[in-house]
């Protein structure tokens, strides 16, 4: 009988204990943010006017420059007016005077004729306008404040350096070619090349095979103009590839087989380089050749991909535009642009900082020319093969398991885009996508916590940059420092300085690779409702309350709110608004007292904001709440900028169906969150994980991911052209605003602290007791924050 009792007891306890295995699926909270596009009202003040005079509309180069100047200066908040001289110096003068009367403060001018433009420059200078000479130098006047140009000498140096880097041993045959002897630039290019080559000729690394004039001066480090003219006269191509080809063929006929073999060729530009390369390739005694070039012409890029030309020097005009703009902005702000070099214009030395040129060869052609958007990939064949062999040499066939909560909408599409980049670069690493759905990552994190405790970590997983990472995984010793990877990839130069401390411990070890940035403190509004009720967009807490009073009196729900986590999101923005970014940041490092009267004020503000919200908040997801605004059921909604992606998905028009502004009182502060990827301690496939992290941190990876996901790049060098207007403005704000972190999305508090604050908020939502709320917050900081 007793035995029976025991069996039954056991059976019952089996049932009873199933409660230990509570399970279920939470409804999706923070859902996919899709590609966001739209327009943003620039909030920067217009503080200056820039006039630009370009030579002619007939050359596409200048038309492109016009568009680039226009866009960049307007985005930066300046007035800009651009006029064309149409090849006429008189018109140029008239344009400049026209601009002066319109009150410009800075003139950017590309003279049609350097000497003729002097008078126009002087007129501007006399009117107190700063004159920037762009790409061509204004000659014979002191009325030039700055010169923006590529350094022709540096181009020659880059070409020669490439030859030197490729040469091994002694006695390498060297063939020299130059541009037209009538062109001053040809002299500058040759001067640069000679600076680098001469010591290597003197020490026997190279032997000049095709120029007796050059051999005669081979021991002179600096050549006079006449000596150079003699050399160039002997090796000139006249910038003409027929001339180049026949000269090369003549040289090859004149030299013996011993003077060929593995040869090195200095060719001045791409057109001549291809002609010369063809001639050398056709010669049976030439076993291999290294040939330089310049200008990154399309045909030469294809030659480089095909291995027929070795290198070219890219002078990206966009760099020149950017440098001209930063010089203009420096003048407008009362500063002086940087000076590293001067150029004599016949009267005085004009200060300048020559724009950087880029050496392009097969190893970086993808990145420098195609990924940067200089030429589109579809113009070339065999691009992938050019880059792929290098990558696969470094990685063994392996796999990588990457864990995330990106399973739907724009997030999943973005991840897929990044995986595509990964598969291209690492075709022999098998990518295993271990994404777990549900609950804005809370389900995934529960799975992850279990796997970590079981000692079965994924190779790399997603974590929010900030305390979620440092206070949880780093504190738990679960992830590896990545400083070596940062050094090797040069990420410290391209990742924002404000971000690095958030993913580092106190010893400066960096623990993750951030892929994107989202903004939390955005308020979305219904422009039609505001207009109909004569409500201006509020910029302070008080204005916001007044606006919401007006709307409430008119029978409109002022604020759309969703379930509890969206209320926590609202809470953090109100804290930021009430305390300011410094006070808010202090909450998380212990320098702002949670018990202080300022925090009490913030909590009262929050309590007051809640009184304007819809009564059914608890039953709405964030999408539901965001939708109330565009449906005209509510005026405002506070949500992160993934809402822009959601609105786009709904097919809505920016600034018509919805508008946005920083949460009142937080203008100039960018409250951010960032997704990043880690390397597990004891990762089963460390090489695969490293390959994945390299892609996640790369320009190509981030440019593939972010426009689709609807966020901006964590890197600062992504091409804004790829993004919609909302995101472009977010990129602008990110680079200028003060940066604070988000609580709800894991930046400022570790998981334990955040969950305690969430509980305190939940209790407050039930009892509306501000005093009790504050004491719970104080207790939370003491139990899990820095207030011990």
Question: What are the residues binding other proteins (CB under 8 A)?
Answer: 1, 4-5, 8-10, 12-20, 22-27, 29, 442, 445-446, 449, 452-453, 472-473, 475-478, 563-565, 615-616, 618-619, 633, 751-752, 754-756, 758-759, 762-763, 765-766
- For other proteins, the closer of residues 19 and 393 by Cβ is 19
Which of 681, 692, 745, 673 is closest to 509 using CA atoms? 681
CA atoms of 702 and 713, how far apart (whole Å): 6
CA atoms of 614 and 636, how far apart (whole Å): 11
CB of 400 to other proteins, least distance (A): 22
What the block records as the tokens of 664 is: 């009142």
- For other proteins, the closer of residues 490 and 772 by Cβ is 772
The number of angstroms, rounded, from the C-alpha of 592 to the middle of its chain's C-alpha atoms is 33
- For other proteins, the closer of residues 2 and 256 by Cβ is 2
- For other proteins, the closer of residues 287 and 619 by Cβ is 619
In contact, 734 and 712? CB cutoff 8 Å? yes
CB of 780 to other proteins, least distance (A): 10
- For other proteins, the closer of residues 6 and 507 by Cβ is 6
For the chain, how many helices (H) and strands (E)?
A: 29, 26
CB of 402 to other proteins, least distance (A): 19
In contact, 771 and 739? CB cutoff 8 Å? no
- For other proteins, the closer of residues 397 and 618 by Cβ is 618
CB of 196 to other proteins, least distance (A): 55
Which of 439, 434, 438, 502 is closest to 468 using CA atoms? 502
In contact, 183 and 353? CB cutoff 8 Å? no
CB of 354 to other proteins, least distance (A): 52
Q: What is the dihedral of CA 241, 245, 251, 254, to 10 degrees?
A: -150
371's CB contacts (< 8 A; 6+ apart) are: 699, 700, 703
CB of 292 to other proteins, least distance (A): 55
CB of 572 to other proteins, least distance (A): 17
Diameter over CA atoms, the chain: 119
What the block records as the tokens of 496 is: 């924002």
In contact, 741 and 674? CB cutoff 8 Å? no
CB of 548 to other proteins, least distance (A): 18
Sheet-wide strand order for 669-673? 712-713, 516-519, 669-673, 738-741
- For other proteins, the closer of residues 206 and 565 by Cβ is 565
Q: Where are the alpha helices (DSSP H) in 203-224?
A: 212-216
- For other proteins, the closer of residues 274 and 445 by Cβ is 445
- For other proteins, the closer of residues 560 and 731 by Cβ is 560
Phi, psi of 483, deg, nearest 5: -60, -40
Sheet-wide strand order for 460-464? 429-433, 398-403, 460-464, 675-677, 513-514
- For other proteins, the closer of residues 31 and 100 by Cβ is 31
How crowded is residue 55: how many other Cβ atoms within 10 Å of its Cβ? Answer: 23
Return the beta strands (E) in 593-679 as ranges. Answer: 634-638, 659-662, 669-673, 675-677
253-263 as b/e, with b when 16 or more CB fall inside 10 Å?
Answer: eebeeebbeeb
- For other proteins, the closer of residues 11 and 299 by Cβ is 11
CB of 453 to other proteins, least distance (A): 7
CB of 9 to other proteins, least distance (A): 6
CB of 558 to other proteins, least distance (A): 15
CB of 516 to other proteins, least distance (A): 23
3-state class of 668 per DSSP? coil
Phi, psi of 351, deg, nearest 5: -65, 145
Please report where in the chains the tokens 């509980």 appear, as a residue.
Answer: 759
- For other proteins, the closer of residues 23 and 45 by Cβ is 23
What the block records as the tokens of 593 is: 């007292």
CB of 619 to other proteins, least distance (A): 5
Q: Which residues pair with 50 in a beta bridge?
A: 80, 106
- For other proteins, the closer of residues 394 and 768 by Cβ is 768
Q: Where are the alpha helices (DSSP H) in 18-59?
A: none
């Amino acid at each position: 009988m007793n035995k029976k009792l025991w069996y039954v007891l056991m059976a019952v306890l089996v049932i009873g204990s199933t409660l230990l295995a509570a399970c279920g699926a939470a409804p999706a909270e923070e859902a996919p943010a899709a590609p966001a596009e739209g327009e943003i009202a620039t909030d920067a003040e217009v503080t200056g006017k820039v006039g630009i005079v370009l030579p002619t509309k007939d050359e596409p180069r200048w038309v492109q420059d016009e568009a680039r100047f226009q866009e960049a200066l307007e985005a930066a908040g300046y007035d800009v007016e651009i006029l064309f001289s149409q090849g006429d110096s008189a018109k140029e003068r008239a344009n400049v005077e026209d601009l002066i009367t319109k009150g410009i403060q800075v003139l950017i001018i590309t003279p049609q004729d350097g000497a003729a433009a002097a008078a126009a420059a002087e007129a501007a200078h006399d009117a107190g306008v700063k004159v920037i000479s762009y790409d061509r130098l204004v000659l014979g006047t002191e009325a030039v404040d700055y010169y923006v140009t590529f350094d022709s000498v540096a181009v020659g140096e880059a070409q020669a350096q490439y030859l030197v880097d490729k040469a091994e041993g002694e006695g390498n045959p060297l063939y020299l070619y130059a541009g037209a002897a009538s062109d001053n630039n040809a002299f500058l290019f040759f001067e640069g090349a000679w600076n680098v080559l001469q010591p290597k000729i003197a020490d026997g690394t190279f032997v000049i095979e095709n120029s007796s004039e050059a051999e005669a001066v081979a021991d002179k480090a600096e050549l006079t103009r006449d000596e150079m003219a003699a050399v160039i006269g002997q090796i000139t191509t006249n910038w003409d590839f027929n001339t180049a080809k026949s000269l090369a063929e003549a040289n090859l006929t004149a030299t013996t087989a011993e003077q060929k073999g593995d040869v090195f060729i200095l060719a001045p530009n791409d057109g001549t380089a291809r002609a010369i390369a063809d001639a050398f390739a056709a010669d049976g005694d030439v076993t291999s050749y290294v040939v330089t070039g310049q200008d990154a012409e399309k045909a030469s890029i294809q030659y480089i991909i095909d291995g027929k030309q070795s290198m070219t020097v890219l002078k990206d005009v966009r760099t020149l535009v950017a440098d001209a703009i930063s010089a203009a902005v420096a003048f407008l702000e009362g500063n002086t642009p940087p000076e590293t070099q001067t150029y004599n214009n016949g009267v005085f030395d004009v200060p300048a900082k020559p724009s950087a040129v880029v050496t392009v060869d097969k190893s970086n052609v993808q990145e420098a020319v195609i990924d940067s958007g200089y030429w589109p990939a579809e113009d070339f064949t065999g691009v992938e093969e050019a880059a792929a062999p290098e990558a696969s040499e470094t990685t063994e066939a392996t796999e990588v398991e990457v864990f995330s909560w990106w399973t739907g909408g724009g997030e999943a599409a973005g991840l897929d885009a990044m995986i595509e980049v990964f598969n291209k670069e690492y075709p022999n690493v098998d990518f295993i996508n271990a994404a777990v759905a549900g609950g804005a990552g809370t389900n995934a994190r529960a799975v992850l916590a279990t796997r970590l405790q079981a000692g079965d970590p994924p190779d790399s997983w997603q974590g929010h940059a900030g305390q979620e990472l440092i206070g949880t995984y780093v504190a738990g010793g679960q992830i590896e420092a990545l400083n070596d990877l940062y050094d090797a990839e040069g990420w410290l130069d391209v990742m924002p300085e404000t971000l690095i401390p958030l993913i580092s411990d106190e010893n400066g070890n960096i623990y993750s690779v951030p892929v994107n940035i989202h903004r939390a403190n955005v308020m979305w509004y219904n422009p039609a409702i505001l207009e109909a009720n004569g409500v201006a967009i509020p910029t302070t807490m008080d204005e916001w309350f007044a606006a919401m009073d007006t709307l409430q009196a008119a029978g409109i729900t002022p604020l759309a709110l969703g379930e509890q986590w969206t209320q926590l999101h609202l809470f953090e923005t109100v804290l930021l608004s009430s305390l300011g970014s410094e006070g808010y940041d202090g909450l998380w490092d212990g320098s702002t007292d949670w018990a202080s009267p300022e925090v009490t004020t913030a909590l009262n503000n929050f309590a007051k904001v809640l009184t304007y919200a819809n009564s059914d908040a608890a039953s709405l997801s964030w999408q539901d709440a965001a939708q109330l605004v565009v449906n005209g059921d509510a005026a405002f909604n506070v949500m992160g900028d993934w809402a822009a992606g959601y609105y786009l998905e709904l097919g809505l028009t920016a600034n018509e169906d919805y508008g946005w502004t920083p949460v009142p009182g937080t203008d100039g502060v960018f409250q951010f969150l960032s997704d990043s990827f880690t390397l597990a301690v004891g990762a089963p496939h460390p090489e695969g994980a490293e390959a994945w992290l390299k892609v996640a941190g790369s320009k190509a990876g981030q440019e593939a991911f972010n426009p689709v996901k609807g966020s901006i790049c964590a890197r600062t060098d992504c091409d804004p052209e790829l993004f919609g207007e909302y995101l472009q403005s977010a990129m602008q704000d990110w680079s200028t605003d003060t940066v604070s972190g988000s609580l709800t999305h894991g930046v400022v508090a570790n998981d334990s602290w955040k969950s305690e604050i969430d509980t305190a908020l939940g209790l407050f939502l039930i009892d509306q007791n501000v005093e009790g709320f504050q004491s719970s917050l104080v207790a939370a900081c003491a139990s899990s924050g820095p207030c011990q």
